[in-house]
Structure 1
Amino acid sequence: MLSRMVLARPLATRLYTPIVQQFSTKPTDGKDATPEGEEKKQGWISRILSTPDGVDNKQSHSSMLADTEVIYEFQTHDVKGGERDAYLQKYRNYAKEVNAAVPGNELVGSWNVLFGNQDQSIHLWRYAGGYGDVDRYIDSILHNNSVRAAEKEVNELVRRRRSVLVRSFSYWGEPKPREPNHIYDLRSYVLKPGSMIEWGNAWAKGISYRKEHNQNVAGFFTQVGQLYMVFHIWAYADMAARQHIRQDTWSKPGWDNTVAYTVPLIKKMKSKILIPNEFSTLR
């Protein structure tokens, strides 16, 4: 467990000295070889160490945390009781209309919440063209009659809607299609303002403890909506497998350091268990 003295240090000091030492991947035998799979992570760390004091004032935090311009959107819909089947049918049609209007947009994941906020559906969209595709989507919901009509049909079956725009952490990679059948654990964290770089620095190493069972799906940080918010998505064969894999992770030396460092950065956290819809790419 990190000492209170370490956590009390000024932010700039904590960001770039103790963490990089703690999570350093430099070989102890003096060789310069980089372990396979570590190149991308070290590239990320090199970006946050681009000036002597550890802060590159010419780059935004988003540029340091992400290495592509791809934008993702989480849509969260609270569906009216008893209307889920009708809602999913309408949403599937809406997704087709959006994709026809903006071919660069893709519905990557579509789930129903099983444990958590019930009667809730969550959809993950990918804007391959970045904010250019976001602008084209905005134009479609304002002026495309087919998209507007499909959206209206969806809205009639929804009590509440929320949306955030996010980018993918570079060390995590983009979400890839999965074959059936999985349950998904959507973990959301609201961080203390100013702590996103610290979080990314710690998880650039921490993610290596969570890959053995291919459970890591995606990691995102917000751009629009609730700021300083992080989403992690994990996939498991079932709830028993989830329990086993999580216990196995705690047996790995070093994982406890990741938890000990990142927990003080969190203001609020939540977990939802999701089951994919039949038209979801992530199954």
Structure 2
Amino acid sequence: MSQEQVAAKDATPESTGAARDGEDELGEDKPMSFWEHLDELRKRLVRSVLVFFAACVVGWEVRERLLHFLTVPFVDAWRDQNLPGTPSLHFGAPAAAFVAYFKLSMIGGAALASPFIFYQLWAFIAPGLYAREKRYVIPFVLFSTLLFVGGGLFGWRAAFPISFGYFLSMAGTVGGDITITPTVMMGDYLDFVAQLLLGFGIIFEIPLIVLFLSIAGVINYLQLIVFGRWFVFAAFILAAILTPPEITSQLVMAVPMCLLYVVSIGLAYVFGKPPTDAQRAAYKKRKEKDVSQG
């Protein structure tokens, strides 16, 4: 029997199946076409939207509790400024309160549906990952949800009191003749709250995003260190856009963002793929140049 016949005999269905499994484990199974990717994206988006609207229904049922929770910093700031009357929100049109409550239910729905949405995001990108990377699905969904909701809670606890205290401090009597009275509209209040909650929720995802990209080999810790000075600049620009025009509230957003970036560098160093020799040499040369110029 020739060597070719022996090799053909050894290629049993079990062995070929194991080879296919090995290919699947390495992520080298049949690639998806462009239209298959679009179809997969459509499925994930449809599922996410359906679950989001179902969560909005739940948020609508508890809208008054959500409103009470989100107005706690506003009420405390009102009382700290010793403003007359009872803290109140207003609406200027018959349907304005309904629209404001609908926005509020969307805020609650986004927080409630975030685990499922993050899972759909992971399921969409998972076909392009190795089998060992696909095992991170549960930690990814868990930590992305905790960071998103935790960022919103941090903004509610730290940034909201400072922002509302600054805004309401502008009320009072001017020159003994003019009285400035805060008349906060319900819709405007919820728009402002939603903007800050979303901003803090997104920036708290920075370590997780950087960790994922570093594990995938897209970035490494040396690239993050080099980009650090630009990130600090971008962090303060973003904080100036998302927060009131007051330095304290901007620092409340920008400083945690920079600290999260430092944590991201550490995570990329520990868990990410190491830089190449060329990248190390370029970083060393850049560092020597900065020292010589300094």
Structure 2-normalised TM-score?
Answer: 0.26
- By relative contact order (CA 8 Å, sep 6+), the higher-ranking structure is 1
Structure with more of its chain in helix, by fraction:
2
Larger Rg: 2
